[in-house]
Each structure stands twice: as structure tokens, then as C-alpha cells.
A and B are shown apart, each in its own frame.
Chain A
Amino acid sequence: MLNISGINEGFVLDHIQAGMSLRIYHDLKLDELDCTVAIIKNAKSNKMGKKDIIKVECPIESLDLDILGFIDHNITVNVIKGDKIVEKKELHLPKQVKNVIKCKNPRCITSIEQELDQIFILADPAKEVYRCKYCEEKYINPARRK
């Protein structure tokens, strides 16, 4: 059994789909934070069989819930203060995401216009479909849970 110590202040991202933790680590820019991060891969889970967990010791406001909701809104976010879970935050699909994914349409203006933000807007919440704000290219989250 692998033991990782608890954290005093920060957050624990639980119920991450197995294999997704490194993408989340990258997209949340945790590599840019000067703090302790523990990534647990393929932990046993009654609910999911296997799951990933990320523990981060840092102020909770450093976490971009929109990006996390975009990647997978089924992740459980436990807020830790004084070694205890003080809050469980619910994630939602954000109405739009900025500069998280890049439009793949070679005909899109985002492919040539300098310093134009890559903005995707939630088009169909039920199917978790986003569309590029400019060319309406479709994006379906590959991590979407069926």
C-alpha cells in the first residue's frame, strides 16, 4: 500500500478517470506552482474500478474550476484546511473556455490572427459539445464519460 501524507491546506481532486491525471496536471498549470503536488495513478475505487487522485498543497484560489469542469465535471474537489475537508466543490461545464484547446480547423481565423484568444463556447450541454467562437468547429471532450 502506497502512503502519501495528508495536506494541511489545499485541495484533493478525487475520482479522476484513470490516466487523466497528467493532462489535468498540465491544463491546471500545476507545474507552474511552487508547491507540493502528489499524483496518484490507478488507485483502487469501488465506484470506478481504477481512478487517479491529485493532491495539491496550495491556496484553493489557485485552482481554475472552469478548466477543471471543462476537462471533467464529474471530478470531486475536496477543499482542505487544517488537515480536514471543509468543502466539496461542485464542478459545472463552463459556458466558455479561453485558451485551453486550440481550434483544429485550418480555415479558422484563429490559425492566422495574431494574439487572438482561442475561445470555445458550450453549444450542447447534454452532449458536452463546444464550438469555436469564430468558425463553429465542433469539439467534444475526449474524456467525456458515457
Chain B
Amino acid sequence: MRHLMSPLDLSVEEVSDLLDLANDIEKHPDKYAHACEGKKLATCFYEPSTRTRLSFEAAMLNLGGSVLGFHSADSSSATKGESVSDTIRVISCYADICAMRHPKEGAPLVASEKSLIPVINAGDGGHQHPTQTLADLLTIRSLKGRLDNLTIGLCGDLKFGRTVHSLINALIRYNNVKFVLISPEELRIPDYIREDVLRANNIEFEEVERLEDAMPQLDVLYMTRVQKERFFNEEDYIRLKDFYILTKAKMDLAKKDMLVLHPLPRVNEISVEVDDDPRAVYFKQAQYAVYVRMALILTLLGIKVD
């Protein structure tokens, strides 16, 4: 039985197969409409996340399966002090596959060690968010036609932004990918990504503070939100939350075929005026996220559709 904890749990070939399947689902949704009939997805969300949870639920419903679950720790037995290990043992009796989000890092891994059903990490604190990464990869590959030979700008909260860390780890496996890391001093990429991932693998990267300086060279701009829930100190959050705002004027500096991605939800970091720009693909990205989660559910359940 396989679980998905990190995007690196899948080899490059497996990622490629998964993205191929997601593209086939996109083209032929009817073919997959009953693939998971009789199967149940448990969404165990110990912290609120409307988007990821609904995306998982939509994915399972699109496959003809059903969903059950809880969407905050308050509505689960965690408030009674139940451990993650015990919860997953019980959930294993109710469902065929589980998507788990938890504020504590490593909680889905703990669950996977005791689970009788595949567990998907749907985000664990500031650590990993592999299905977001797969959605990002699917979006880039589908719209750029490749995952190699790209200059990727990552902008905003690079310190706590788990989507950014996961995406870097996933993209360094492709040839000639260069990163431009755009952040304020306080939210720079953590040392372990800079040293152990980028430098250790001889990946070309630069760190800049001004978004305008980076724009002209980018093939992909990945914007992130400064996440209030990752700060212990409200003052720091208020000071940094509006550090970057992507506007039409800044988009004028970019290549004609650059893509703007964002894991969403957006707050102020992308001006609404940018939404109509064909290069702004963050809502398409949300659609691709459903396709890739459908592909993942099928793969982890071992269901093949001819």
C-alpha cells in the first residue's frame, strides 16, 4: 500500500505518469465518472482549509465515489485527546483512502504508519503539501509544455511557505531549472533549502528583494500569500503582509508567455486587475488541482480505467 507524504515519494517517471493520467482525465472526464463507485474518501482536516478539502471532495465525487470527514480539530475526537494514530485506525474502518491536513508537521506520516488505507498528506503545518505541488507541476507542464529549461520566480513568504519548499524540491529533478527567490529579508528561504537542496544539487538560483527586477527573466512567477497563521507575532505579520503586490504595471515587465501561479487563497498580493491577463493562470491551477487529485486517488487505490 502506498501513501503520499512528500512530492519526492514519487519518482520523476511516476510523476510523469500521474500528470499524463490527469491530462487524460481533463480530456475525457466521462471515462472516469464511475471509476471510484463504492469507494469512500475520508477528509480528516484538523485545521480549516476550504479549498484543499473541497478540491479533494470534488475529485472523489467526480470519480463517482463518496466522501466523509471532519473539517476542524474542534469537530473531531482530537478535542477529547485522541491521538492521530488512534484516529486513523478508526478511519481505516470507515473509508478506502484518507486525505489528512494537520497543523503539526509529520502528523500524516504518523497516520500512514498505523493506517490500513492509503493516506495523502493534504498539508502538515509549514512542512509539506504534496498535492499542491503536483497541481503546480501539472499546471506548468500543461501550459508551458515542459518542466525543464525554466526560470521560476518564487515570490512572497519563502520562509514558511510550504508550497514553495515542496515545489523547489520537486523541480530540481528536472534539467536546467533556475530559481529567482523574491522575498523580504525576514521571509527568505530557510537555510536547509538554500544549502541542502539548492547548493547541494548545484542548482542555479538568486535571491532578490524587488519583484520588478526579477520579472523580465521569468518563465513562471509563483506568488504566495504571507500566512498569518505561521506567525507567532502579529506585528511582524502586519509589517510584511503587503510587501509584494503584483499589478498590471509589473506584469508589463514580464515575458509575453510568462505564467502567474498562486496556490490561493489570495489576499492582497495579486491585484484583481491582473486576473484578466491571459498569463494569470491561478484559477486554472485550481482546476488542475482537482484533476491531479483525481489521478492520485486512482493511482493510490490501484484503479485502472481503460
Contacts and interface: CB of A to CB of B under 8 A. Distances in A.
B271 to A, nearest CB: 32
B196 A132 contact: no
A116 B167 CA distance: 29
A134 B83 contact: no
A107 B110 contact: no
Interface stretch (B26-34, B100-108, B142-150, B172-180): B100-108
Contact of A134 (B103, B110, B126): B110
Contact of A109 (B104, B192, B196): B104
A119 to B, nearest CB: 10
A136 B127 contact: yes
B259 to A, nearest CB: 29
B299 interface: no
Nearest to A135: B105
Contacts of B109: 109, 133-134
Contacts of B84: 109, 113
Contacts of A115: 83
A105 B105 contact: yes
* Chain B interface helix/strand/loop/mixed: mixed
Interface string A124-135: 100001001111
* Chain A interface helix/strand/loop/mixed: loop
A134 B106 contact: yes
Contact of B192 (A111, A133, A138): A138
A108 interface: yes
B106 A110 contact: yes
Contacts of A114: 83
Contact of A107 (B125, B192, B196): B125
Contacts of B125: 107, 135
A1 interface: no
A108 B83 contact: no
Nearest to B191: A138
A134 B105 contact: yes
Interface in B91-135: 102-107, 109-110, 124-127
Q: Which 9 residue pairs across A and B have the least CB separation, nearest first?
A: A134-B106, A135-B105, A109-B104, A109-B106, A109-B107, A107-B125, A135-B106, A107-B105, A114-B83
5 contacts: A107-B105, A107-B126, A108-B106, A109-B84, A133-B106
Given A115-B83, A133-B106, A135-B125, 11 more contacts: A105-B105, A107-B126, A107-B127, A109-B84, A109-B105, A111-B104, A112-B104, A113-B110, A114-B83, A134-B106, A134-B110
